[in-house]
Structure 1
Amino acid sequence: METRDVISLISRIREKVNRFIIQEMVKQGVDGIGTSHGDIIYALLHKHRLTMAELSTKIHKDKSTVTALVDKLVRLGLVMKERDKEDTRYVFVALTDKGRELETVFEAISAQMLEQFYRNVSEQEKEALLSILKKINNNF
């Protein structure tokens, strides 16, 4: 493998991680949502409610994509949308009770994924990997 193959390798790792997450969600009875939906739920588990614009920024997706993702989560009963009472231009998204119930599932899957991801990788290698990836990310 040549150094120029690193982008392809990163892409394959991303695909494998996403597949792992989806498979684990199905095993846990969470079916019909993808990893981008999971990003929204995860963001809302850490902040009570967010505007569509905040969600867009948090999960690094454009607003139209976030709208489609949120609408599906609304149909599944995992999140709800509500307009700001003072400024109706703002739409807030929050988890429903059904959505909040996914927290333990998401935490367990996250722990399993990280264990698999970092298997046979030392702490020093983890730190070096993170440092290098941050530099590359900042290059763009």
Structure 2
Amino acid sequence: MKENLSLKAFVVLIKASKALQDHVMEDIKNYGMKTSEFTILETLYHKGKQTVREISNSVLIKTGSITYVIDRLEEKGMLQREHCQKDRRVVYIDITDEGKNLMDEIFPKHQKVIEELFMDISDEQKQTVIDMLKKVGKRL
């Protein structure tokens, strides 16, 4: 019987994804943070002020759960809420100087961990993986 390459590609992708996630989560733990906290701070660090919905879409955490994480990060002084002047229903979340200073310190280390995972893969191969995964994702 001929090997089903679609099924094999799916299994390899899922296993690789799990291994990568586990490795990255372990790295984030080294900074005394939970993955959800780190991903929210990282989003604000790179994209600037965002609404809760924008953050939720960016980090793939449901809006209900994200409020709890935002509350915790606000208590730690890492981010702050700002009400929109034009529409009081809209609340922006922004990283504080304390949060930015923390990310200035830890993000380069985190980035290096990720870069090391891909160090044996050429830029051309990385781009091919990106293109292929986008193509699969768009089919859904």
- TM-score band by shorter chain is 0.7 to 0.9
Structure 2 residue 78 is matched with structure 1 residue 78: yes
Q: Which residue of 2 aligns with 1:92?
A: 92
Superposed CA deviations along residues 55-74 of structure 1, whole A, max 9, x for unmatched, are 11222222112211111101
Unaligned ranges ≥5, structure 1: 26-30
**3-state DSSP of counterpart to 1:85:** coil
- Over 3 Å counting, the alpha-carbon distance change for 1:16 and 1:48 in structure 2 is closer
Q: Which residue of 1 aligns with 2:138?
A: 138
Cα separation, 2, equivalents of 1:10 and 1:48? 28
**3-state DSSP of counterpart to 2:93:** strand
Moved over 6 A (4+): none
Q: Which residue of 1 aligns with 2:117?
A: 117
Selected match of 1:13 from 15, 20, 33: 20
Equivalent pairs, count: 132
Cα separation, 2, equivalents of 1:43 and 1:123? 24
Which TM-score applies when normalising by structure 2?
0.80
Q: Which residue of 1 aligns with 2:4?
A: none
Q: Which residue of 2 aligns with 1:49?
A: 49
Please provide the CA RMSD for this pair. 2.0
